[in-house]
Structure 1
């Protein structure tokens, strides 16, 4: 707070709001930091849930596709026709060709006991060189292969599901197999990962990349790529062990400077593994608009708070200015009085103790009254009656004219003294509203009957003659009253009491009137 000179006449006090603005800006910055930190924590949690969601979707769809192919081929293998040596292979092939498009396979084929594969319109071809066929005929177990190049062009990638044909004696008489489109698996990975902006990788039985939505190359060992990343809480060797053991889990890593979370799981009925990764940057930038919206709301709230605080301080500064003015007046009386022995030290003590009271009557000033009255209304017992009195001297001008201004001052002091008695008795506050006007709020009246009793007594006490200097000074007052109703504002009560006072003035003066709602 500083004092601003004004042409050499007194001064004007003002508050510098720069420190408040500075602290408000610091607070806003801290709020933004906390919001962004909260967004980062939220993003980390969302990374795990998104990675697991993408993994669950991809694993379920691919497992369903493979398991569906296995179940279909095993159901067909149970039909006697496919084990019947008297049925021509071409007949079996045609039956399978009819089913293949319906179930969405690249092809469905029959293999005889010599590991020769038959197709319609072509000579039989040997599959004896295929490792999975060797395993099938040696173990009698179904096979699900990694992707490999097949077909007439020798370049088309596919996955093969093969089941043995076993006769009633337990002998392997051949096999049925179907080829799943490579692009179909790629599409599943892209759709599952794309829903949550994740990256998905399908690994083969040797840990090689079979399909990926990232820039990983087909056939590359995934562990070689992971060695360039910084794994958190694990190592590439431990991760490889868990994948080989068909375990389900997840891990954190730093990839190209970005925090990532990767979830992994084995595909049912295969030796394949799916890895789904989500990066912190992708998730965090998705929620940036929401975070910025929250930040804007917080900054707006800070600005509103600052404006309310500024208004409140300015209002309180009015009280401070009045206090300063009272102290300046006191200085003049003490140091500029030609007869210091006549200084009223009781008034000095009063001014120095609160500095906010009217120097003549002893009641508080108008501004202080408004502040105190509002506080008392809020804290008063709701069961008790609360009333505001607007008191006006009817004959102050007459007293000043006949008894002099000293007589008028004595009359005003007398009114103030009487009102202060009621203030103490009924838990209230009295203020000087204008030259010959007083306002008084009483908050502990039992009921309206007590209110009228108080008014009857008060009006009698305010109609009196005060002896002073060999003469009697006549005092007469009129009173307007407003009774508090829930929700009514103090300013409204003053207005209603003023209206009631006007009613008294218009009807003879020297009495009271209660405002009727």
Structure 2
């Protein structure tokens, strides 16, 4: 009001004022939320760049050294896992000649797979025939070559993600697989494997054939221990040898 400190405020003007203030407050809240989300996303990306190599390393390393601890604390799981990785680096994981898991880490991984996946597994104990003859006749470098080729064929043949292959020692290899629908399907695969592992090595004057004798042990409700499966499959290998080699035999519990 002119010449006074008072303002004349109508109901309409007051409501308009409140509406403008409300819109202003809502607008500022939206701006704050958008800014917070943007900053959070930016920081998350930065953290992800730093941590992703570690996450990838843990993910890849679990295929070799599975996290076995079932502790409620994730920190204990990770610490336990990294301690296993450090110990692994000391004694090695893979056979240097074949790039297959060595006996220790095959058994460790295979046992976890059997206990984790409640499906039927087949343990194949594969014995390379005639390696001693090759070493004695042509030399150990020929024998090493055959072992390397043999391992490549096994790796190629058993390429399903859950398949596990290892070198048990010398001329012996082990494979754990559940990549079969039934025993008929498994027999078909074994027949193809026998053909796949047939070959020969020669120098200028001598040709020596090599092949595989295979023992097969299947898991059941009673036997889900990898060491027992290996023992059973190893017994079946001897039956394959008695049959004349270059064949497979299933272990039968008498």
What is the TM-score when the length of structure 1 is the normalising length?
Answer: 0.31
2:98 aligned with 1:361, yes or no?
yes
Please report how far the alpha carbon of residue 381 of structure 1 lies from its aligned counterpart in structure 2 after TM superposition: 5.4
**Structure 2 counterpart SS, 1:445:** coil
In structure 2, stretches of 5+ residues that fail to align are: 1-70, 72-78
For residues 271-295 of structure 1, the C-alpha deviation after alignment (integer angstroms, 9 at most, x for no partner) is xxxxxxxxxxxxxxxxxxxxxxxxx
What is the rounded CA distance, in whole Å, between the counterparts of 2:142 and 2:178 in structure 1? 32
Tell me the equivalent position of 2:15: none
For residues 69-115 of structure 1, the C-alpha deviation after alignment (integer angstroms, 9 at most, x for no partner) is xxxxxxxxxxxxxxxxxxxxxxxxxxxxxxxxxxxxxxxxxxxxxxx
2:238 aligned with 1:502, yes or no?
yes
2:117 aligned with 1:380, yes or no?
yes
Structure with the largest fraction of helix: 2
For residues 401-444 of structure 1, the C-alpha deviation after alignment (integer angstroms, 9 at most, x for no partner) is 12211100111011111111233137311111111111110122
* Distance of aligned partners of 1:318 and 1:427 in 2 relative to their CA distance in 1, 3 Å threshold: closer
1:445 aligned to which of 180, 183, 196: 180
* Distance of aligned partners of 1:378 and 1:397 in 2 relative to their CA distance in 1, 3 Å threshold: same
Larger Rg: 1
For residues 10-55 of structure 1, the C-alpha deviation after alignment (integer angstroms, 9 at most, x for no partner) is xxxxxxxxxxxxxxxxxxxxxxxxxxxxxxxxxxxxxxxxxxxxxx
What is the rounded CA distance, in whole Å, between the counterparts of 2:184 and 2:208 in structure 1? 32
What is the rounded CA distance, in whole Å, between the counterparts of 2:152 and 2:204 in structure 1? 19
What is the rounded CA distance, in whole Å, between the counterparts of 2:236 and 2:131 in structure 1? 20
Structure with the largest fraction of strand: 1
In structure 1, stretches of 5+ residues that fail to align are: 1-304, 306-312, 326-354
**Structure 1 counterpart SS, 2:139:** helix
**Structure 2 counterpart SS, 1:358:** coil
Please report how far the alpha carbon of residue 470 of structure 1 lies from its aligned counterpart in structure 2 after TM superposition: 9.1
Q: Contact conserved, 1:407 with 1:473, CA < 8 A, in 2?
A: no
Tell me the equivalent position of 2:139: 404
What is the rounded CA distance, in whole Å, between the counterparts of 1:469 and 1:365 in structure 2? 34
What is the rounded CA distance, in whole Å, between the counterparts of 1:388 and 1:426 in structure 2? 16
Please report how far the alpha carbon of residue 399 of structure 1 lies from its aligned counterpart in structure 2 after TM superposition: 0.5
2:221 aligned with 1:486, yes or no?
yes
Tell me the equivalent position of 1:414: 149
| Alpha-carbon RMSD | 2.8
2:193 aligned with 1:427, yes or no?
no
Please report how far the alpha carbon of residue 482 of structure 1 lies from its aligned counterpart in structure 2 after TM superposition: 0.1
Please report how far the alpha carbon of residue 468 of structure 1 lies from its aligned counterpart in structure 2 after TM superposition: 7.3
What is the rounded CA distance, in whole Å, between the counterparts of 2:85 and 2:202 in structure 1? 36
Q: Contact conserved, 2:142 with 2:201, CA < 8 A, in 1?
A: no
**Structure 2 counterpart SS, 1:458:** helix
Query: Which has the bigger relative contact order, CA under 8 A and spacing at least 6?
Result: 2
What is the rounded CA distance, in whole Å, between the counterparts of 2:204 and 2:94 in structure 1? 27
What is the rounded CA distance, in whole Å, between the counterparts of 2:171 and 2:95 in structure 1? 12
* Distance of aligned partners of 1:396 and 1:381 in 2 relative to their CA distance in 1, 3 Å threshold: same
What is the TM-score when the length of structure 2 is the normalising length?
Answer: 0.61
Tell me the equivalent position of 2:89: 323
What is the rounded CA distance, in whole Å, between the counterparts of 1:462 and 1:386 in structure 2? 21
* Distance of aligned partners of 1:426 and 1:448 in 2 relative to their CA distance in 1, 3 Å threshold: farther
* Distance of aligned partners of 1:429 and 1:469 in 2 relative to their CA distance in 1, 3 Å threshold: farther
What is the rounded CA distance, in whole Å, between the counterparts of 2:242 and 2:131 in structure 1? 17
* Distance of aligned partners of 1:508 and 1:404 in 2 relative to their CA distance in 1, 3 Å threshold: same
Q: How does 1:206-285 map to 2 (within 5 A)?
A: none
Tell me the equivalent position of 2:59: none
